[in-house]
Amino acid sequence: MSKKPEEVLQEVIDTINPLRGVLDVGVLTDEVRKNVLKIEMDKAGELIPVINMGVNECLNRDYTVAIIKNASFRPPPTATVQLVDNKGNLLGEEIVSNNQKKKYKEDEKAKFINPDFVLLKDQKDIEEDLKTENLEKNPTKQAFLLPPVQFIEVEELEDTCDVVSSSPDPLADLYLKEVFNFEDDPKLASILVGFNIKD
């Protein structure tokens, strides 16, 4: 006999709660989902647009939970921020693992702009494109993309499918902390996990 949706939801919460660094896990109501989406959509006019595909994917699932976490929470399995051009080419990405760092250190085209972000210079000298004057002439040439990221602990549950996770925009993060009665503490952050339930 298959589990009821509320049983699966409880199983997801019970799986996430004991993870290191998790302070709270809560289910997003329809109203909270709408508000997060509205905050994410209000980012027009930025010099380099930010496209939060991950949050959109999370909110498109049947169920979305928010995690409030501190710095001891595990790092993400893949990059949560990428720089792409309007053709979808990867121009740079966040460094989240030692393997990734090693790979890029051995790649002569890769250029670290800080220890946690690398530019991949093989697509027509990005450094020139990133100079403000070029961006002002063609502001949609690049965008920061926040892709959906795996959330393995929930993927491994028998009754869940289509699992994705993402970090919300700073204003949405602030809003979620308020919803779950947390102070605006820079040491805390929120993550959304969206999933469907297998039929």
90-94 and 82-85 beta bridge pairing: antiparallel
Instruction: Return the closest-CA partner of residue 49 out of 5, 83, 16, 15.
Output: 83
The last residue of a domain, from among 109, 129, 145: 145
Instruction: Return the closest-CA partner of residue 12 out of 133, 182, 157, 120.
Output: 157
| 31-76 pLDDT per residue, tens | 999 999 999 887 656 677 888 999 999 999 999 999 999 999 999 9
Q: How many CB atoms lie within 10 A of CB 186?
A: 6
Q: For the chain, what is the domain count? A: 2
10-residue mean pLDDT profile of the chain (199 residues): values are 87 97 97 93 72 93 97 92 88 90 90 90 54 50 89 96 94 95 94 95
Based on the fold, state whether residues 95 and 130 are members of the same structural domain: yes
Based on the fold, state whether residues 38 and 100 are members of the same structural domain: no
How high is the pLDDT of residue 49? 80
What end-to-end distance do the CA atoms of the chain give, in Å?
A: 11
Structure-token pair, residue 52: 């939060």
How high is the pLDDT of residue 50? 82
> Is 196 inside a domain boundary?
yes
How high is the pLDDT of residue 123? 47
How high is the pLDDT of residue 194? 98
Q: Which amino acid is at 74?
A: R
> Is 76 inside a domain boundary?
no
Residue 12: phi and psi, rounded to 5, are -60, -50
How high is the pLDDT of residue 142? 84
How high is the pLDDT of residue 47? 74
How high is the pLDDT of residue 1? 56
Which domain does 169 fall in, by range?
1-45+52-71+149-199
Based on the fold, state whether residues 61 and 97 are members of the same structural domain: no
Q: What is the DSSP letter of 195?
A: E
> Is 41 inside a domain boundary?
yes
How high is the pLDDT of residue 137? 52
